[in-house]
């Protein structure tokens, strides 16, 4: 990293080849753990990964220790200064980025049935969107942690855990959705994993542009670079990773053309988007809900996803959209004054509105620390089967 791709364009055949590739190293490790130690022992190993401890237990199975040893090193040539700059940029804009993730990045992906069929297996997003969303945001925090890419850091451990959990999901999908591979390719394949990373990086950058955050080109590239390194750590082949923000846009738009469908053809995606929206509305302060301002999250979805993106996941356009957007410019001032925290310069509008939606979100539960799992443990994956 960074690499210079030999790929000239994101062609259909090239992307099709990505769909036939998973993560052989993680698949082999998990298969050995299950065969030699059973699902319960394999799940216990995830508690070690939660501990953010760089000392592998001496009694850990050999397959597990070998996997950690093979996956802990950063890509050759990693620019540590760029990593730190990217992490700083991400955390400086953490609150509006969280808003972008919930109102743009996540619902955009719900338009792809190849993703929603898998996401809906456990029902976690639909029944417990708050817990699942906290997990995603905690993953972002782990990646953007200034020390996340140090030996044994949160970003490295998160990537290792993701690889093993993705391996578990591939096995479960093959059991529960036997026709999936013939239609969509290998479950949790290279193309889908890359699209997920692009949602957290490229779409976040695009969202910050829409919110007029005014990052410089260098800042955007540094932020993107952070996720490129993480992408390689989580098992995406280096030659598949777009080389810059412009190339990332080309990939993501090619992915959208290939996989995004209309709402009528993807009821699972509509349900997931509705659960996401309902969760954000319920998280808003009660006073604002009584004032009828539960519409704010949907307004941001309308703005950031755009009419076509909203239609794909069944999110209706807010009545009086243009007028409400203008009125929202007054809301941060009123809110901050009500809390006697108004500064003469004032906060950025979207920063303040983001805080309205996420006020107390992490504090409400888990006290700021969330275990990042998909769904929750390997044992939960096994129960699905």
Choose the weakest-confidence range: 14-28, 154-168, 277-291.
Answer: 277-291
Give me 260's structure tokens.
């995004």
pLDDT above 60: residue 359: no
pLDDT above 50: residue 333: no
pLDDT above 50: residue 372: no
The answer to whether residue 383 sits within a structural domain is yes
pLDDT above 70: residue 302: yes
User: Mean per-residue pLDDT for 153-178?
Assistant: 89
Q: What's the domain count of the chain?
A: 1
C-alpha 1/C-alpha 100 separation (Å) is 27
136 vs 302, more confident: 302
Please tell me the pTM assigned to this model.
0.83
* pLDDT of res. 384: 40
The answer to whether residue 342 sits within a structural domain is yes
* pLDDT of res. 42: 61
* pLDDT of res. 276: 87
Averaged pLDDT of the chain? 80
User: Mean per-residue pLDDT for 230-240?
Assistant: 97
pLDDT digits (tens, 9 = 90+) for 264-294: 999 999 999 998 898 888 777 677 667 666 7
Categorize the per-residue pLDDT at 227 as very low, low, confident or very high, splitting at 50, 70 and 90.
Answer: very high
C-alpha 355/C-alpha 31 separation (Å) is 44
The answer to whether residue 253 sits within a structural domain is yes
User: Mean per-residue pLDDT for 339-368?
Assistant: 45
- Whose CA is closest to 75, among 3, 155, 167, 160? 3
* pLDDT of res. 228: 97
pLDDT digits (tens, 9 = 90+) for 188-219: 999 999 999 999 999 999 999 998 888 999 99
The answer to whether residue 61 sits within a structural domain is no
The answer to whether residue 120 sits within a structural domain is yes
Side-chain-facing half-sphere of 255: CA atoms under 13 Å: 30
The answer to whether residue 63 sits within a structural domain is no
* pLDDT of res. 130: 65
* pLDDT of res. 85: 95
50 vs 173, more confident: 173
The answer to whether residue 5 sits within a structural domain is no
Q: Which residues constitute the domain of residue 170?
A: 11-53+71-385
C-alpha 109/C-alpha 139 separation (Å) is 17
What are the distances in angstroms from CA 80 to CA 83, 86, 130, 144? 5, 10, 33, 13
The answer to whether residue 367 sits within a structural domain is yes
C-alpha 91/C-alpha 147 separation (Å) is 13
């Amino acid at each position: 990293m960074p690499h210079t791709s030999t790929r000239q364009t994101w062609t259909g055949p090239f992307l099709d080849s990505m769909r036939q590739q998973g993560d052989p190293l993680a698949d082999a490790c998990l298969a050995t753990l299950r065969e030699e130690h059973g699902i319960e022992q394999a799940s216990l190993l995830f508690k070690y990964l939660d501990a953010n401890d760089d000392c592998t237990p001496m009694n850990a199975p050999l397959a597990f220790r070998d996997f950690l040893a093979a996956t802990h090193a950063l890509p050759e040539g990693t620019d540590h200064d760029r990593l730190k700059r990217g992490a700083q940029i991400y955390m400086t804009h953490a609150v509006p980025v969280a808003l972008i993730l919930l109102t743009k990045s996540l619902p955009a992906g719900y338009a792809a049935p190849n993703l929603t069929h898998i996401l809906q297996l456990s029902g976690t997003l639909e029944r417990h969107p708050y817990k699942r969303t906290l997990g995603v945001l905690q993953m972002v925090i782990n990646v953007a942690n200034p020390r996340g890419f140090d030996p044994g850091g949160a970003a490295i451990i998160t990537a290792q855990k993701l690889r093993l959990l993705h391996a578990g999901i591939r096995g479960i999908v093959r059991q529960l959705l036997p026709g999936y591979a013939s239609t969509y390719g290998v479950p949790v394949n290279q193309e889908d994993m890359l699209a997920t990373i692009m949602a957290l990086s490229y779409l976040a950058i695009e969202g910050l542009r829409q919110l007029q955050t005014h990052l410089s080109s260098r800042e955007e590239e540094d932020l993107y670079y952070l996720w490129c390194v993480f992408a390689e750590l989580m098992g995406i082949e280096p030659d598949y990773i777009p080389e810059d923000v412009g190339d990332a846009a080309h990939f993501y738009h090619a992915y959208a053309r290939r996989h995004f469908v209309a709402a009528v053809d993807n009821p699972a995606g509509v349900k997931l988007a509705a659960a996401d929206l309902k969760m954000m509305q319920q998280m808003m302060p009660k006073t604002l809900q009584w004032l009828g301002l539960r519409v704010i999250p949907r307004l941001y979805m309308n703005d950031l996803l755009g009419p076509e993106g909203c239609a794909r996941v069944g999110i209706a356009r807010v009545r009086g959209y243009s007028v409400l957007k203008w009125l929202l410019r007054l809301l941060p001032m009123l809110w901050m004054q009500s809390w006697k925290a108004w500064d003469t310069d004032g906060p950025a509008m979207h920063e303040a509105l983001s805080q309205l939606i996420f006020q107390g979100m992490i504090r409400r539960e888990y006290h700021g620390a969330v275990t990042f799992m998909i769904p929750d443990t390997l044992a939960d994956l096994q129960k699905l089967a």
